[in-house]
Chains A and B, each alone.
Chain A
């Protein structure tokens, strides 16, 4: 069972991709929705709205516990911001919000990912953040104009773009492969 944080944002599009890959999906709004999850996706949206939602629902500690238990977590755009040092403090990075600018500066680009076959990934950047600083334990997977836009740290995968919008499921497949691998170990 894969949880998709549904406080606000692009949860519907993530659920469509995950289901098309055979995953069962549960929308996450309250702590009880986290019970028994094998993986968690944190979609894009507005991080101010989500921060208020996390506080209102008391989700911060249960989410930290879920990540600490080794459960794979995949954050996209605002979902990446929510994992960073100044939000949940799970990912050892600082994100710069709306770093690429307003909607007029939103763009698509091809990104080469290490370990992903079949050519570059089409990445959809919408009012996107970038990683302004990353700790030693963080692997940068891809960058745009010298700014990291995809990072990995243990069971945490985070990208500043929207893989759920580009009809290219390879990053979701990579995340689900991590979920499978963990289940096989336990």
Chain B
């Protein structure tokens, strides 16, 4: 019996990205540089988050022609972003046969109450989360991978750390609860009891947990991997730095050897200036992206 639409296939692709670096790229040339530097996947988008932040206005799905151009030059998986709740953009990305769709807060939300019904798609989805309840709501909607939101386009790791610690800390806490307490936890997390019970039992999410939002250096990658991320997304951090290819290789190396400080030190040598950064705490409320999503 052949079956081409199981959830296991979608989670399975995320499993294969573990220990790797998914890099934001805006041109086929950047995609090639990313692949040659060891990226395990690329995120094809029109503008990296720091430019979206600078330019303002409505940020939308990328031009299909650009996505196809990137698919043509790399053999690694190609992901692309749809706006939160914009299932028509997701349908377009599915028709383009991208390998993963990121329902992303980095783009301007299209729906202020509903996320995309991801079960309606054969293509897997990744969604951002700032805490465990949000992660479990996205999984209940069909997400096959969760990433921290962080604060994209800042080069400041503080928000990604906050989100990872919130998710892993809440998972550990669930493990200490009895059955009656789990019902209350589900209510407070605004998440389905079956998922809450499974997380309490397994001590982990039912899908891989990756980190995104603010990674700019090899040591940032090591930090979030040690905090429980299973792979990292690097957005503006590579192609907004002064010398992208060596930095890309260095972040790949530090992600593989995240637990070995000597290797992270070696990877960090002589990379030149990181991206221009913004301190997330000093951003105006209206400039924060992580609050998007419900």
How many chain A residues touch B (CB < 8 A): the figure is: 36
* Segment from B2-10, B44-52, B133-141 that makes contact with A: B2-10
B18–A10 touching, CB < 8 Å? yes
A81 to chain B minimum Cβ distance, whole angstroms, is: 11
Q: Which of B13, B98, B255, B257 contacts A127 (CB 8 A)?
A: B13
Q: How many residues of B contact A (CB 8 A)?
A: 41
Tally inter-chain residue pairs, CB-CB below 8 A: 119
Q: CB-CB contacts of B153-175 with A at 8 A, as 1s and 0s? A: 00000000000000000000000
Is A21 among interface residues, defined by CB-CB distance under 8 A?
Answer: no
Which residue of chain A has the shortest Cβ distance to B37 in the bound complex?
Answer: A52
Contact residues in A for B99 (Cβ distance below 8 Å): 102-103, 127
With A45-B40, A104-B94, A106-B13 as known contacts, state yes or no: A8 contacts B1, CB within 8 Å: no
Interface contact A46-B124, CB-CB below 8 Å: no
Contact of B18 among A9, A29, A103, A110 (CB under 8 A): A9
- For B8, the chain A residues whose CB sits under 8 A away are 108, 124, 165-166
Q: Is A130 an interface residue (CB 8 A)?
A: no
Query: Chain A 16-54, CB within 8 Å of chain B: the 1/0 string?
Result: 000000000000010000000000000011101100110
A116 within 8 A of B: no
Residues of chain A within 8 A (CB-CB) of B97 are: 102-104
Q: Does A176 sit at the interface, judged by CB under 8 A?
A: no
A108 touches B2 (CB 8 A): yes
In the assembly, what is the distance between CA of A100 and CA of B124, in Å? 17
Report Cα–Cα, A102/B9, bound state, in Å. 12
A residues near B18, Cβ cutoff 8 Å: 8-12, 45
Q: Mark B1-34, 1 if CB is under 8 A from A, else 0.
A: 1111010111011011111100000000000000
Distance, CA A78 to CA B75, complexed state (A): 12
Known: A49-B38, A52-B252, A107-B3. A162 touches B12 (CB 8 A): yes
| Chain B hits for A166, CB < 8 A | 8
30 CB contacts below 8 A, A to B, read: A6-B19, A8-B20, A8-B38, A8-B40, A9-B40, A10-B12, A10-B15, A10-B18, A45-B40, A46-B76, A46-B77, A48-B35, A48-B36, A48-B38, A52-B252, A78-B16, A102-B97, A102-B99, A103-B100, A103-B124, A106-B9, A106-B12, A107-B2, A107-B3, A108-B3, A108-B9, A109-B1, A109-B2, A126-B9, A127-B16
